[in-house]
Chains A and B, each alone.
Chain A
Amino acid sequence: EVQLVESGGGLVQPGGSLRLSCAASGFTFSSYWMNWVRQAPGQGLESVANINEDGSAKNYVDSVKGRFTISRDNAKNSLYLQMNSLRAEDAAVYYCAGDQMGYWGQGTLVTVSS
């Protein structure tokens, strides 16, 4: 059974940092592009970043460029999102998703507030 389990969310002040993690199991993690997708409260879905199979190619949505960094550790079947200089508009549930959004985790909530 495919499982993606996110962790690392929480309450952070504007300007602060968080590191999200996603633990994958049940599929060959190293064979797939992986994504971070977020959903602000009551809103739709927004792609944040993605990374190719070996981590050599990364893409970011314009609003997070220079602030967020996506990475992966295929030996640990894990995906990460380092989020710096957080803003109120970054508050959302962050989902880890793989294989052209065929696999989704349960999400982790990031709240940005003073």
Chain B
Amino acid sequence: GAVVSQHPSRVICKSGTSVKIECRSLDFQATTMFWYRQFPKQSLMLMATSNEGSKATYEQGVEKDKFLINHASLTLSTLTVTSAHPEDSSFYICSARALPQTSGGTPLPTQYFGPGTRLTVL
């Protein structure tokens, strides 16, 4: 099945530094990727939607200057947490939406999720 990877899986950084998280679709092209944030024992909260070659669309309450998203190719999106602070510590998860099958094949589910990145800001 389709695979989405995230790197790094875990990162610890000092307050004030910037952290970049990569999300890659390994065996399919993704026109759209999504970034979620999950606090302990809480829901995944959608942060933003990124479309290849265009600016990301951020959900209400998410600071776009704080969470920079780049979707430079059909297989890679990056989330950069700028000037990270302890309150940014969280579990960040990406998902990728596959292009629809044009002929043959099995219809794909809507989104494929990465395994997540645990960010801890000291």
Bound together? no
Mark A residues whose CB is within 8 Å of B.
none
